[in-house]
Homo-oligomer: A and B are copies of this chain.
Amino acid sequence: MTVEIREHPFDPWQTVSEYRSNHLVAGKSGASAVFVGTMRDFNEGDEVQAMVLEHYPGMTEQQLKDMRDQAVSKHDLEDALVVHRVGTVHPGDDIVLVAAFSAHRKAALDACREMMEVLKSTAPFWKKETLAQGERWVERNTPR
| Cβ contact within 8 Å between B41 and A28 | yes
User: Interface residue tally of chain A, by bracket?
Assistant: 35 or more
Which A residues are closer than 8 A to B by beta carbons?
Answer: 11, 13-14, 16-17, 26-42, 91-92, 103-106, 108-109, 112-113, 116, 142, 144
Give complex CA distance A14, B20 in Å.
13
Given contacts A35-B105, A104-B144, A105-B116, A91 and B40 within 8 Å (CB-CB)? no
Give complex CA distance A31, B141 in Å.
14
Most B CB within 10 A of own CB, among A13, A31, A33, A109? A13
| Cβ contact within 8 Å between B104 and A40 | no
A106 to chain B, nearest CB (A): 4
A35 touches which one: B31, B40, B142 (CB < 8 A)? B31
